[in-house]
Amino acid sequence: MTNITDGDLLLKNITAQAPFPICFADLEKAVAEKIEAGPFGYIRSGAGGEQTLRNNRAAFEKYSIVPRFLNDVSNVDTSVHLFGKTYPTPLLFAPVGMNGMVHDEGELAVARAAQFLNIPYIQSTVSTFALEEVAQAAPSATKWFQLYWSTNEEIAFSMAARAEEAGFEAIVLTVDTVMLGWREEDVRNQFSPLKLGYARGNYMNDPVFTATLPDDSFESYVQGVLQNVFHPTLNWEHVRELKKRTNLPILLKGILHPEDAKHAIDNGIDGIIVSNHGGRQLDGVIGSLDALPAIVKVVNGQIPIILDSGVYRGMDALKALALGANAVAIGRPFVYGLALEGQQGVEKVMTNLYDELKVSIALAGATSVKGLRNITLVKQDGTEGK
C-alpha cells in the first residue's frame, strides 16, 4: 500500500539537475542522438511498413477513462500477485535480447535494476550475458527465463534446465518468433546484432550447444546460433514435451487469438503474455490492447494474463489493467533507459512509469489494481467501451 500524499510524485522530477527524459518520445529522441543508427534502428523499428507498431499505440489512444471522484484515494494498493508471490507494482521487464548492443553491462544492469525495484525480470534466450551471470549479478531478483525453441530441441531443454538450476522461477516460451520478421530498417542500416555476436551469452556456455560446433571460433558460435535460434517447426507437441521436462510454470508469449489462449489452458499452460512482439514480427497485426478483451473473456481468470507491446506510460498500463490484464511488461522504454544511463537509467524509466500509474489510478477514482476493473472506459467516439 502506498500513501500517495507522502511526497509529490511529479515535483520530485523538477530539480536543479539536468532533466532525464520524462516520456517515451523524449527518451527515443535522446537515444537516437546518443547511439549509432544500426542499433537504434534495430530497437526502435517494427516489421514491414510498421502498421503493427502504429496499431499498438492507436489501440491505447482509442480508449478514454471516465473517472470517478469523492472516493478517498489517499492510499493506493498497486501490488499484484503472480505465481505465488506478491510484487509492489503490476510491471515486468519484457525479455529483450542482446542488451550488450547499447551498454557494456547489458542484462546485468537491467537485472540489478529489477532487483532494486522488485520487478520481475524476464531474461531473453538471446542475451549478451549468460543466465548464470545474471543470476549471480542479481541473486534476489525474481527472474524468469524466456525460451526460444531450438532446431535441436535438446538445446532448448538444456537451457530450460540451466534456468531452473540457476533459480529462475518460470519459463516464458515465445511463440511468435519462429523466424525473424521482415525488418526493413535493419536492411537499410545493414545491421544484424546476431551476426555481431551479441546473442551468444546463453549459447557460449551451453554444453549441448557447444558440443555441436566444429571449433570454438567466434564464427562457429555465430553460425551455430543462427542455425539454432529459428525454429519454424514449433507446435503444441513441443509445448507438451517442454511441460514434461521442466518443473517451472510455463507462460506462452505472443498470444493474440482467443482460441490459442484456450489451447494454452487446455495444454496446462500457467500464464500467457498477450503481445505482438512490439510490432517487430508480423506487420499488419492487431494492436495487443485490441486483442486483450476477447482473451480476457475466454481465460476467465483461470491463469494470469500479462500484456506487452506499446505500454509507454503509466496511463497505458492503467488501461490494460482496467481491461483485465493482471500485469504489463515493458520493452523499449527500459532499453532506452539502459542506453542512456545504465542501471540508473533503467530505474528512472521504470520509476517514472510507476509513479504516473500510481497518480493515474488515484485520479481515475480507484484505490487498487483490482479496483481498476470497475473503472469506465469508452472508445474514442464515446460509444463503445467497458
Ligand X SMILES: Cc1cc2nc3c(=O)[nH]c(=O)nc-3n(C[C@H](O)[C@H](O)[C@H](O)COP(=O)(O)O)c2cc1C
Applying CB under 6 A, the span of 22-30, 180-188, 270-278, 356-364 interacting with ligand X comes to 270-278
Applying CB under 6 A, the span of 104-112, 132-140, 328-336, 377-385 interacting with ligand X comes to 328-336
3-state secondary structure 181-221: CCCHHHHHHCCCCCCCCCCCHHHHCCHHHHCCCCCCCHHHH
Residue 337 contacts ligand X per CB under 6 A: no
- Scanning the structure block, which residue is given the C-alpha cell 507491446? 309
Residue 280 contacts ligand 173 per CB under 6 A: yes
Q: Are 373 and 322 in contact (CB under 8 A)?
A: yes
Residue 141 contacts ligand X per CB under 6 A: no
229 binds, among ligand X, ligand 173, none (CB under 5 to 8 A by kind): ligand 173
Residue 314 contacts ligand X per CB under 6 A: no
Task: Report d(CA 174, CA 255) in Å as an integer.
Answer: 9
Backbone angles phi, psi at 315, to 5 degrees: -65, -30
Which residue, 35 or 94, has its beta carbon nearer to ligand X? 94
**Which of residues 91, 126, 307, 362 is near ligand X by CB under 6 A?**
126
Q: Catalytic amino acids? A: 277
Which residue, 178 or 378, has its beta carbon nearer to ligand X? 178
Q: Are 180 and 106 in contact (CB under 8 A)?
A: no
Which residue, 65 or 229, has its beta carbon nearer to ligand X? 229
- Scanning the structure block, which residue is given the C-alpha cell 541473486? 139
- Scanning the structure block, which residue is given the C-alpha cell 469506465? 376
80-82 and 75-76: which strand pairing? unpaired
- Give the three-state DSSP class for 216: coil
The HSE-up count of residue 107 (CA atoms within 13 Å, CB side) is 31
Which residue, 199 or 359, has its beta carbon nearer to ligand 173? 199
The 31-60 contact track toward ligand X, x by CB under 6 A, reads ------------x-----------------
Q: Are 242 and 250 in contact (CB under 8 A)?
A: yes
Count of residues for the chain?
386
Q: What's the closest the beta carbon of residue 42 comes to ligand 173, in angstroms?
A: 7
Q: What's the closest the beta carbon of residue 1 comes to ligand X, in angstroms?
A: 28
Residue 201 contacts ligand 173 per CB under 6 A: no
Q: Which of 86, 96, 147 lies closest to 121 in space, CA to CA?
A: 96
**Which of residues 137, 261, 311, 364 is near ligand X by CB under 6 A?**
311
Containing H/E element for 338? helix 332-364
Which residue, 172 or 229, has its beta carbon nearer to ligand 173? 229
Interface positions, 108-127, toward ligand 173 (CB under 6 A): 126
- Scanning the structure block, which residue is given the C-alpha cell 529489477? 114
Containing H/E element for 116? helix 106-117
CA 177 to chain CA mean position, Å: 14
Q: What's the closest the beta carbon of residue 152 comes to ligand 173, in angstroms?
A: 16
| List of residues contacting ligand X (CB under 6 A) | 43, 94-97, 124, 126, 146, 174, 253, 275, 277-278, 280, 308-311, 330-332, 335
| List of residues contacting ligand 173 (CB under 6 A) | 97, 126, 177, 194, 199, 229, 277, 280
